[in-house]
Amino acid sequence: MSLYAFATQLLTQLLELLIALALAPLLGGWVNVCRARLQKRCPPPLLLPYHNLLKLFRKDVLLAHNASSLFRVAPYLIFSCMALAAALVPTLSTELLFAPAADAIALVGLFALARVFIALAGMDVGTAFGSLGARREMLIGFLAEPALLMVFFTASIISGSTSLATIVGTLAHHEFAIYPSLAFAGVAFTMVSLAENGRVPVDNPTTHLELTMIHEAMILEYSGRHLALIEWAASLKLFAYSCLGIALFFPFGIAESTGPGALAVAGVFLVGKLAVGGFVLALIETLNAKMRVFRTPEFLGTAFLLAVLAILVHLLLEGGR
């Protein structure tokens, strides 16, 4: 690799990371605005998440007496995991410096690592709600993770690679072709992302009713900068998942090169697609009611089986391609 290519790839990589860090709270704010509009409520300010983060960062941390060092390390680690995940997804360009270091399976592993640490942090103080949330989070995790992997496998088998850059490159720059298997995979992916990001049919991000909480229950004991990091990480996760969905199922417009012009075009495409994606998420959340926790396995089991079907359909219908 020439020095020039190295430098541009590094810059693209950093740019992606920065965009993810900067835009992630905005995406959350946008979804909230859409949701409020759809429900005929007065929407909160679009930039509210940034204010919240800033406020939390400025506040003191109130730490429970028996919180261990794991509890204090976890927010930083979780944030790093999510930031890296968001940076690994090819959103602007497929020419990323760190792309070879982690493929789709490693990305799923990264999400899993963050989940394990947040669950452990939830159990650390030893409150009833913390362990309840941790157990539910792991329940969702163990069902969502294989489903997500199977979605990636479908894309991998189509493109003959598990490297995200190659997958997205193949899907974006291939001559136009309809992949019925991707329809299955898309439905499965949507279901998984709803569950993984604690969205409505599975969890309610705005709930304050303890018994139905999942994500919120785990992080009850966090405050100040720790809470800010975790909230920011959660929005990064939503951002990463949205970008994944865009990259896998609507990849057109992504930059092949690392030239500034191509990146700018790709950036415009990205923002547009994210806005649409956020609206669709708000729509789904408005149209559905939250389900009982024990319907979740059924929901995610269906997602898993749909992803398996995607692979089978690919083998049957697209085997020759």
Partner 1 sequence: MSPLALILLACLVWLAIGLLGATFSRRFVFVTRVLFPAGALVAATVALTALLALLTQGDTPHTAMLPLGLPGLPFHLRLDALSAFFLCLLGAVAAGISLYAAGYFRRGQGSTPGLQCLLYHLFLASMGGVLLADDAYFFMVAWESMALSSYFLVTSDHRIAEIRRAGFLYLIVAHVGAIGILLSFGAMSGGTGDYTFDGIRTNAPEGWLASAAFLLALGGFGAKAGLLPLHVWLPEAHPAAPSPVSAMMSGVMLKTAIYGLLRVTFDLLPEQQWWWGALLLGLGLATALFGVVFSTVQSDMKRLLAYSSIENIGLIFAGIGLSLVFAANSMPLLAALALTAALYHCLNHAFFKSLLFLATGSVLHATGQRNLGRLGGLIHRMPWVAWLALLGVVASAGLPPLNGFVSEWLLLQSFLFTPQLPHGYLNMLLPVAAGAIALTAALAGFAMVKFFGVVFLGQPREEHLAKAHDAGRMERLGLIWLAAGCVLLGVLPNFVIAALDPVTNFLVGAGFAPAADKGSWLLLAPISEERASYSGAIFLGGLLAFTLALFFVVRAVFHGRLRRADAWDCGFPLLSGRTQDTAEGFGQPIRQVFAPFFRITREHPSPFDKEPHYRIVVDDPLWHWLYLPLAWLVDLGTRVVGKLQRGRIAIYLLYSFVTLLALLVFTTR
Partner 2 sequence: MNPLAWLPTLPGLPFAGQLINLCAAIMLLLAFAMLAQRRIVTLINLFALQGAVLCLSTAIVALSTGQSHLWGSALITLLLKVILLPWILHRLVHKLSVKWDVETLFNIPTTMLVGIGLVIIAFNVAQPISEFAGTITRATIGIALACVMLAFLMMITRSKAVPQVVGFMSMENGLFFAATSATYGMPMVIELGVALDVLVGMVVFGVFFFQIREKFDSLDIRHLEEKTKQE
**Lookup: tokens for 92:** 């602007």
Task: Compute the distance between CA of residue 16 and CA of residue 89 in angstroms, rounded to an integer.
Answer: 9
Choice between 15 and 81, CB closer to partner 1: 81
* Span from 22-30, 110-118, 253-261, 306-314 in contact with partner 2 (CB under 8 A): 306-314
Terminus-to-terminus CA distance in the chain, angstroms?
Answer: 32
Task: Compute the distance between CA of residue 94 and CA of residue 200 in angstroms, rounded to an integer.
Answer: 32
Full DSSP string of 208-229: --GGG-SHHHHTTT--HHHHHH
Angle, CA 200 vertex, CA 195 and CA 204 arms, to 5°: 95
Q: Which of 134, 202, 254, 263 binds partner 1 (CB under 8 A)?
A: 134
Q: 3-state SS string over 71-114? A: HHHHHHHHHHHHHHHHHHCCCCECCCCCHHHCCHHHHHHHHHHH
Site string for partner 1, 229-258 (x = CB under 8 A): x-----------------------------
Which residue, 172, 160, 186, 202, is CA-closest to 294? 202
Neighbours of 142 (CB within 10 A): 13
Task: State yes or no: residue 5 binds partner 2 (CB under 8 A).
Answer: no
Task: State yes or no: residue 315 binds partner 1 (CB under 8 A).
Answer: yes
Task: State yes or no: residue 256 binds partner 2 (CB under 8 A).
Answer: no
Query: With contact defined as beta carbons under 8 Å apart, do 303 and 144 qualify?
Result: yes
* Rg of the Cα atoms in the chain: 19
Task: State yes or no: residue 18 binds partner 2 (CB under 8 A).
Answer: no
Task: State yes or no: residue 178 binds partner 2 (CB under 8 A).
Answer: yes
Choice between 102 and 140, CB closer to partner 2: 140
**Lookup: tokens for 135:** 């157990």
Task: State yes or no: residue 119 binds partner 1 (CB under 8 A).
Answer: yes
Task: Compute the distance between CA of residue 16 and CA of residue 10 in angstroms, rounded to an integer.
Answer: 10
Task: State yes or no: residue 265 binds partner 1 (CB under 8 A).
Answer: no
What, of partner 2, partner 1, none, does residue 145 touch, CB below 5 to 8 Å by kind?
partner 1
Q: Which of 44, 126, 160, 180 binds partner 2 (CB under 8 A)?
A: 180
Residue type, 5: A
What, of partner 2, partner 1, none, does residue 313 touch, CB below 5 to 8 Å by kind?
partner 2
Phi/psi of residue 93, each to 5°? Answer: -145, 155
- Beta carbons within 8 Å of 267's beta carbon, 6+ residues apart: 19, 92
Task: State yes or no: residue 83 binds partner 1 (CB under 8 A).
Answer: yes
Site for partner 1 in 13-52 (CB under 8 A): none
Query: With contact defined as beta carbons under 8 Å apart, do 185 and 310 qualify?
Result: yes
Choice between 36 and 105, CB closer to partner 1: 105
Task: State yes or no: residue 128 binds partner 2 (CB under 8 A).
Answer: no
Site for partner 1 in 155-184 (CB under 8 A): 156-157, 160-163, 166
Q: Which residue has the tokens 């009833």?
A: 128
* Span from 43-51, 127-135, 188-196, 273-281 in contact with partner 1 (CB under 8 A): 127-135
Choice between 30 and 299, CB closer to partner 2: 299
Q: Which of 138, 262, 275, 280 binds partner 1 (CB under 8 A)?
A: 138
Provide, rounded to whole angstroms, the least separation between the CB of residue 94 and partner 2.
25
Task: State yes or no: residue 61 binds partner 1 (CB under 8 A).
Answer: yes
Task: State yes or no: residue 301 binds partner 2 (CB under 8 A).
Answer: yes
| Interface positions with partner 2 (CB under 8 A) | 176-178, 180-181, 183-184, 187, 297-298, 301-302, 305-306, 308-309, 312-313, 315-318
